[in-house]
Amino acid sequence: MAKRSLQASATGIKQAKKAFASKGWTQENLAEEVNLKTRQPVWRFFTGRPIERYTFIEICSVLELEWREIAANPPAEVSESGERIAINIDALVKKVRAQRQDKIQDQCGTLQLLDTNRPVEIEDIYIDVNILQEIASQQWVEISNLQNLTSKEFARFGLGQISRTQIPGMRAVETYSKLRVLGKPGCGKTTFLQHLAIQCNQGNFAANLVPIFITLRDFADESKETGAFSLLNYISSEFLTCGISEHSAIETLLREGRVLLLLDGLDEVLHQDNNAVLKEIRRFSEKYPKNLFIVTCRTAVKTFNLRRFTDVEIAPFTRSQIVAFAQKWFTVFTRKNAQDELDLAVQFIEKLDLPENLPFRRLAVTPLFLHLACWVFHRQEKFPSKKAEFYKQCLDLLLGKWDEIRSIERDEVYQGFLLPQKLKLMSQIAAATFEEGNYFFEQRAAEHYIGDFISNLPNAPTEPEELQHDSEVVLKALELQHGLLAERVRGIFSFSSLTFQEYFTARKIVASHNLQSLERALERLVSHITEPRWREIFLLTAAMLRSADSLVQLMKQQIDALVAQDPYLQEFLTWASQKSLITPQPTLAATRAFYLGLIQAPHLAPHFALACTLDQGIFLDALLDNLVLECTLGSSSDFAHAHACADALSNALTIVLDVGLQQSLQQLKEQLPDPEQDRARFRSWWQINHLAWTEQLRTAISLHRNIQSHWHFSPEQQQVLQRYYDANQLLIDCLNSNCEVTVAVRREIEAALLLPQKELEEREWG
């Protein structure tokens, strides 16, 4: 029979007092750590008096001491019932698993995805997650190393590039017995825990353990009602619902390390309950260290330290995970035959990979937003042309609905901030940082932007220290509650997705209610028309404006000004305009665009021709230009290439209608020996004559088709011409983005695309 009480030996008291002194606590602090209502047992412990056995063991555990080394005459065995009975632990595990199987399946087996009218089996939709073993936000990186990253580099940063080590989530669980799984909102933390519970329940993982899934906010709420934060009591109550009333059975499982304890949502516990919940998790995990513990929490909650737990972070989805998720999603929700489901998933991925859908791809690395993208695509079988509406749905989720849907109550750390004020604050931060070219910004800069915003609110604090404190609190809320800002490395923040920074920047431009201010905002915007990173801002702004007339007109003026002062470029545009009058179909603007592109990239001529709906005149020019290019670039000793040039000339002759050009090309063709009759003679002739022959070909084409006019642009002019071409393409994309533009303005801009300054002035005066 084991003793029900224990007391410290003289030597043990010395060790305990030394450990106690190192903590810097009072006896009241220690009593609180051990979850005692008074310090009386603590006083008795340090004076060598007998105290209840488990209180003695708990005090030693908190002081990080081995209780057997502290106790006087410790018993050989300990049991709450007073005696240790040889138990077949495997049989007990099997029995409890069987009794709890239905409960775990009911608790963790299904998901209710956003905007869906029915739950789905978790294993029908779940995708194995990857784990980052090093937390990016805990790394040290200088801000100067992040200033010149491109948008692609930004998207990759922090997704495993600091530490490229990603491991499967299951391997992380098998590696660490005490694990804290961090992640951003909507990344799948809860789903991961549910998956582990179901896999354990089905015997596919940790089949020798009993799974217990606890939502920590429920634990905290019930603990406040009972007046004691005790995981053991909570588990005992939960086991009662499965018909397990033996307290000793639960104790046995825990002491033998036969429990998989899954604790979900540490960040969802209200602030006033944080310390009590943390202390109980620490205490419980140290009292029963043989078990497997997994806690989930949002990445931003760094202050919730769990002693002896290993922190890892859920990695964003890779492309293969996105593909796998889409295949499962369309199988679950489309209710079509297997082939149609697969076809929809394939179409989804194909369209997601298109360049214009890059903003959707940035968001699709998060399961929550990937589900939304699948849902939107499923209804329309395409992505929305007005992307801003989709982004607004995502932001509505992050700014409140995501917690509402799951009935999570959070501390309102910035009380009084209405949704429009939150949106305005985020827009100001986004616009200021994007305008400066910063995807990353230091914490003090973020707090400065927030402080400027708060100082303009009614009843704003006037003391600098108070304003600084409020700025810190709001920044933490934006990171923790909404996930819109993220600490990428220590002290350096960014928007969680570049797509959100772009959306908020465009929103800042659009949101001004003062017309004069709005015009100035649009003028500032169009000053960036040649900068590729502003492309998405233009498209979003055009789509969000109630009337985009002013924007597209300002864009057109800015574009024309790029080449207005260069006489040689104006001469070139005049030539392109004249060419468009010869072959004016399908539109003059499209034809001018073709010739502009033809000069810049002659090797792409066939593609430009296809883009112009294969108008015969344009197609012939493309064919002839490509023929000259091939002849010029080809090797004089390459028979296959020479033979191909001869064939290309024959093909061009079949569609030439101009008699003069046809005669000139026919004469050039007749100069070529027949390669089919005498290959050696053809090769010899080509080696000697191909340069002179190619020059005659170029002259004939230039004379009859007015192409290949030997335009010689300087490197600077080539750059200007490329910027001019790209800016016009952006203008066309804006016009085609379902923005609100009046018919008259649209027609005027389309008719005046790519015209030289002289013709623009004539149109203006005409």
Residue-level pLDDT at 603: 45
pLDDT per position as a tens digit, 542-571: 999 988 999 999 999 999 999 999 998 898
Regarding beta strands 210-215 and 292-298, do their DSSP bridges make them parallel or antiparallel, or are they unpaired? Answer: unpaired
pLDDT tens for 382-416 read 888 778 888 888 887 777 665 665 555 655 555 66
Name the CATH superfamily housing domain 89-314.
P-loop containing nucleotide triphosphate hydrolases (3.40.50.300)
Q: How confident is the model at residue 759 (pLDDT cuts 50, 70, 90)?
A: confident
What Cα–Cα distance (Å) separates residue 319 from each residue in 152, 349, 350?
15, 9, 12
Q: If we measure between CA atoms, which residue out of 159, 171, 218, 221 comes closest to residue 196? A: 171
- CB atoms < 10 A from the CB of 537, how many? 21
Residue 321 has pLDDT above 90, yes or no: yes
DSSP string, 543-558: HHSS--HHHHHHHHHH
* Mean pLDDT for the stretch of residues 57-80: 78
Q: Which of 364-373, 471-480, 629-638, 709-718 has the lowest mean pLDDT?
A: 629-638
User: What are the pLDDT digits (tens) for 204-249?
Assistant: 999 999 999 999 999 999 998 888 889 998 998 888 888 887 777 8
Residues paired with residue 212 on neighbouring β-strands, in sequence order: 261
pLDDT over 90 at 302, yes or no: no
Least confident of 20-24, 33-37, 171-175, 212-216: 33-37
628 vs 348: which has the higher pLDDT: 348
Contact (CB, 8 A) for 497 and 318: no
Whether pTM > 0.75 for this model: the answer is no
Query: Would you say residue 436 has pLDDT above 50?
Result: yes
- What the block records as the tokens of 26 is 């009072």
Token pair for 234: 């909570």
pLDDT tops 70 at residue 632 = no
Q: What is the mean pLDDT of residues 254-258?
A: 90
Across 506-515, 603-612, 618-627, 659-668, which has the greatest mean pLDDT? 659-668
What confidence tier does 161 reach under pLDDT thresholds 50, 70, 90? very low
Mean pLDDT of the chain: 80
Residue 349 clears pLDDT 90, i.e. is over it: yes
pLDDT above 60 for 590: no
Q: Give 268-299 as a DSSP string.
A: GS-GGGHHHHHHHHHHHHHHSTTSEEEEEEET
Query: Comparing 62-71, 154-163, 270-279, 332-341, which segment has the lowest mean pLDDT?
Result: 154-163
Kindly tell me the sign of the dihedral angle through the C-alpha atoms of 49, 55, 61, 67: positive
Host H or E run for residue 111: strand 110-111
Given a cut of 80, whether residue 114 has pLDDT beyond it is: no
Q: Is the peptide bond before 756 cis (omega within 30 degrees of 0)?
A: no
How many CB atoms within 10 Å of residue 589?
18
Kindly indicate the confidence band of residue 614, based on its pLDDT and cuts at 50, 70 and 90: very low
The encoded tokens of residue 761 equal: 């002035």
Q: Which of 20-34, 72-86, 122-136, 690-704 has the least mean pLDDT?
A: 72-86
Q: State the average pLDDT over residues 621-625.
A: 60
* Domain 419-511, CATH among 3.20.20, 1.10.10, 3.30.460, 2.60.40: 1.10.10
Q: Is the peptide bond before 586 cis (omega within 30 degrees of 0)?
A: yes
Decide which of 160 and 747 is more confident. 747
Q: What is the pLDDT of residues 671-730, one digit of tens each?
A: 888 777 777 887 888 788 878 887 787 777 777 666 645 677 888 988 898 898 889 889
pLDDT digits (tens, 9 = 90+) for 87-104: 478 888 999 999 999 999
Instruction: Tell me the three state secondary structure of residue 210.
Output: strand
Q: What pLDDT does 375 receive?
A: 87
Residue type, 295: V
CATH superfamily for domain 5-70 = lambda repressor-like DNA-binding domains (1.10.260.40)
Sign of the alpha-carbon torsion through 640, 645, 649, 654: positive
In this prediction, residues 23-27 reach a mean pLDDT of 86
Stretch 740-754: mean pLDDT, rounded? 88
Question: Which residues, other chains included, contact 720 with Cβ-Cβ below 8 Å and sequence gap of 6+?
Answer: 562, 563, 566, 569
Q: Average pLDDT in the 330-352 region?
A: 82
More confident residue, 251 or 179: 179
For residue 407, the model assigns a pLDDT of 57
The structural domains of the chain, with segments of one domain joined by +, span 5-70, 89-314, 319-393, 419-511, 563-751
**Angstrom distance (rounded) from CA 737 to CA 532:** 17
Q: CA-CA distance, 22 to 285, in Å (whole number)?
A: 22
Average pLDDT over residues 536-545: 93
